[in-house]
Chains A and B, each alone.
Chain A
């Protein structure tokens, strides 16, 4: 089988590549060995939360800060794709998310401070529309914990928020009376909140506490599919505002984004083969002809393409594999830029972790290049997302932003058949 664009990887970068290519009318397939880390992510799309990384002051206008970053840090993935590409990816995503029924909101011009499950405030640019509420402006807030959930503790959230916002924040525990005989994670709980009786139970508990006119902060467990309706019901019946807080993996907000995006792409005609790793690549004269994935019973399935997007993730997503002496890119064995040391003294350091900076180096067309010479190693392969070198997503809060922007750009370039610089 032959495709115009073969996307390897099913995280946000891969989806974004597929979106760009399918928008340009190309025949696209996504192959991935697993479901990707989007499922454990917050579901927020942070573009740039802190710059430079050593500062503790959040970026207020990411677009402005990005201009500085692009000129000061040419090795950063944002610098490779440039400001215009970043803006295009945001517009495309916002439009698509509306069509997916997710209705993301926000813009690159400002960061909204989102409360985290520890009660810190995290700057983010794009978020599910229902979460577009500003905790700085809210008059009265109550953080609600659900006893059955092992991963959310309202009192610490409330007290940390109080310190930062300088206003009173209430904390409340509710018990839904679900006796499943074990602790529940967010996904488990979100499944139970797909059931009418449990939603009613939650509404009644909140009603008896009194949340009218307040901003209710609740862990993101309000259903897997019908969460927007659940939020609407809570808001209308309790006359309050509701905002979900993303939780530790398995993160329901990440799950909703991943599922919706994949279904949307499928509807647009993108094919998917998930669950099988790429085990073989056929590259000749600087171009990749085809890849082979391993399917059941070790059978090889060959997939040929005009161009390829490599979006297999970084170390966490297993696109990069770390060895005691070096790092390997797992699909094409591309040259990887590494650091001499693997780790800093302190975990919570505001310096970038050397291991996080490692990755595949590219030129401005996102083609992988030789670390020494800067020559493109493969001209019809475009690299996106966490596989890229040169940034620490967790420290600067840019993981999903880089994935979206570089993914979209890679998809567009791949749709051109990899003839960008020929």
Chain B
């Protein structure tokens, strides 16, 4: 790779990849570095809701307005990444109905279309809902796939000449006088260190933004805020389901592929990598969820995990649910005199494109570039398109992943994990959580990619371990049974636990 670019973008989530694409569309030479795979931070660890903005209309009208505008744009430019399920807000007889009026007024002010539906009608369409509904409204919420969105943005940028380095950690900055002029990088696989010179750095590392800024001697007050989510083994509702009440824990259900994501909670944490959910957190979440879905506890849980919201408080203000969901561009030059770096913090996935635009608008003039942002005008495409027709030979039957999709997912990749493949294809994301397809995919890649048997065994075992991480806090009911089935296959039948593997850990 060339060791000089105009801009280095740090962070491979929706914001970072969005920035990369925006830069590339304006003709700016750029490189994105990400410490893991794309969308492995918060962009891949949230409920996957493309907000209509309705959730924020009462408390944060400004965010709500941004959401509805971006909601329309993302549906236009990224149809591969969005399932336009529509959304609904449900108030039950136990909810405060005076909130409904405030909410309706807010939706109107924000420009969000709402359509009231009778409880009877909504129950006919969504029979899993509680019969205690008193008010139901449809809104333009949708499900968005954060993994595909980041990958599609990155792909669009790469096609325009941008570079992406995943599994690459920023370990320091090179400064001249009081200006950033380069970034020190370390390859997480090989351990090789490298310097990339640049004119500007955009820190878009979300919950890690404070840690990155610290490497440049800067202080940013990020309060990582942990949200716990669980996944159920089927689509409980057809639409995104919101509880019509002031935003709280356990009030959003989002259908994705063959499953439902349900969350979330809000709890301060000091570690952006705090991504495991505890049994107690899950049980508390389920209690909340039964207000909307009475049979919730009888539905099989297949996974529990957590994401960390990168909430930003410029002056040590509110935290948790009270903190703004708005984003900020921190100009380090204005704050401390350090030139050549901004940090993009706060915000939410729905408004990633807007954040990218604001960041690039800020940086472009320093590079003598006055081109306008056009990210809202051009389509982006998923690197691995869904299987649309003739091939009915599935390697992952839950999520209908074909061999061709597996080939596409690792095209031009020297090395990859099955988790990388999963993020692009949904392999192993369905009800069996990789029990059957992990074995098949590991063996398939062994042959088609010419892997050593040790590397193939590791590929397979790592993915089973990764799926286990999300399952071990929720081992009860049918998921306990599924876990035993997985053990029966990988330990009992295949005897893989004692088959050695010797490739390196990353």
A residues lining the B interface (CB < 8 Å): 37, 40-42, 49-50, 56, 116-122, 150-151, 153, 155-156, 159-160, 162-163, 181-183, 246, 248-249, 251, 314-316, 318, 321-324, 342-350, 353, 355-356, 393-395, 397, 399
Among B394, B453, B476, contact of A119 (Cβ-Cβ < 8 Å): B453
Among A160, A248, A315, contact of B484 (Cβ-Cβ < 8 Å): A315
Cβ of B404 to closest chain A Cβ, rounded Å: 13
> Quick check: B446 and A118 within 8 Å, CB to CB?
no
> Quick check: A399 and B492 within 8 Å, CB to CB?
yes
A151 to B493, CA, bound (A): 13
A356 to B480, CA, bound (A): 10
> Quick check: A316 and B393 within 8 Å, CB to CB?
no
Most A C-beta atoms less than 10 A away, residue of B395, B456, B488: B488
A183 to B488, CA, bound (A): 23
A116 to B488, CA, bound (A): 13
> Quick check: B489 and A249 within 8 Å, CB to CB?
yes
B417-456 interface mask toward A, CB cutoff 8 Å, 1 = contact, 0 = none? 0000000000000000000100110111011000011101
Determine the main DSSP class of B at the interface with A: helix
A277 to B217, CA, bound (A): 67
Which chain B residues lie closer than 8 Å to A50 at the CB level? 498
Q: Given the interface contacts A353-B487, A355-B484, does A160 sit within 8 Å of B497 by beta carbon?
A: no
> Quick check: A348 and B464 within 8 Å, CB to CB?
yes
Q: Given the interface contacts A118-B494, A153-B447, A350-B497, does A248 sit within 8 Å of B472 by beta carbon?
A: no
Known: A316-B484, A350-B497. 14 other contacts (CB 8 A): A42-B493, A50-B498, A117-B493, A118-B496, A118-B499, A153-B444, A153-B446, A155-B446, A163-B454, A182-B394, A316-B488, A342-B279, A347-B487, A356-B484
Taking the complex as formed, is B27 at the interface, i.e. its CB lies under 8 A from any CB of chain A? no
Among A323, A347, A393, contact of B492 (Cβ-Cβ < 8 Å): A393
A182 to B392, CA, bound (A): 5
Q: Which residue of B lies closest to A161 (CB)?
A: B453
> Quick check: B443 and A153 within 8 Å, CB to CB?
yes
Question: Looking at chain B, what size class is its interface with the partner chain?
Answer: 35 or more
Taking the complex as formed, is B491 at the interface, i.e. its CB lies under 8 A from any CB of chain A? yes
Cβ of B3 to closest chain A Cβ, rounded Å: 39
Cβ of B340 to closest chain A Cβ, rounded Å: 43
A251 to B494, CA, bound (A): 12
> Quick check: B490 and A347 within 8 Å, CB to CB?
yes
B residues lining the A interface (CB < 8 Å): 279, 283, 392-395, 397, 436, 439-440, 442-444, 446-447, 452-454, 456-457, 460-461, 464-465, 468, 472-473, 475-477, 480-481, 483-499
Determine the main DSSP class of A at the interface with B: loop
Q: Given the interface contacts A159-B453, A315-B481, A318-B481, does A117 sit within 8 Å of B494 by beta carbon?
A: yes
Cβ of A344 to closest chain B Cβ, rounded Å: 8
Which chain A residues lie closer than 8 Å to B392 at the CB level? 181-182
A324 to B465, CA, bound (A): 22
> Quick check: B499 and A120 within 8 Å, CB to CB?
yes
Q: Given the interface contacts A350-B497, A355-B480, does A342 sit within 8 Å of B446 by beta carbon?
A: no
7 interchain pairs, CB-CB under 8 A: A42-B493, A118-B494, A120-B494, A153-B440, A156-B453, A343-B475, A347-B490
> Quick check: A395 and B495 within 8 Å, CB to CB?
no
Q: Given the interface contacts A355-B480, A399-B492, does A248 sit within 8 Å of B436 by beta carbon?
A: yes
> Quick check: B494 and A116 within 8 Å, CB to CB?
yes
A162 to B452, CA, bound (A): 12
> Quick check: B465 and A347 within 8 Å, CB to CB?
yes
> Quick check: A160 and B457 within 8 Å, CB to CB?
yes
Which chain B residues lie closer than 8 Å to A345 at the CB level? 472
Which chain A residues lie closer than 8 Å to B492 at the CB level? 41-42, 393-394, 397, 399
Q: Which residue of B lies closest to A182 (CB)?
A: B392
A355 to B485, CA, bound (A): 13
> Quick check: A160 and B453 within 8 Å, CB to CB?
yes
Among A37, A41, A120, A251, contact of B498 (Cβ-Cβ < 8 Å): A120
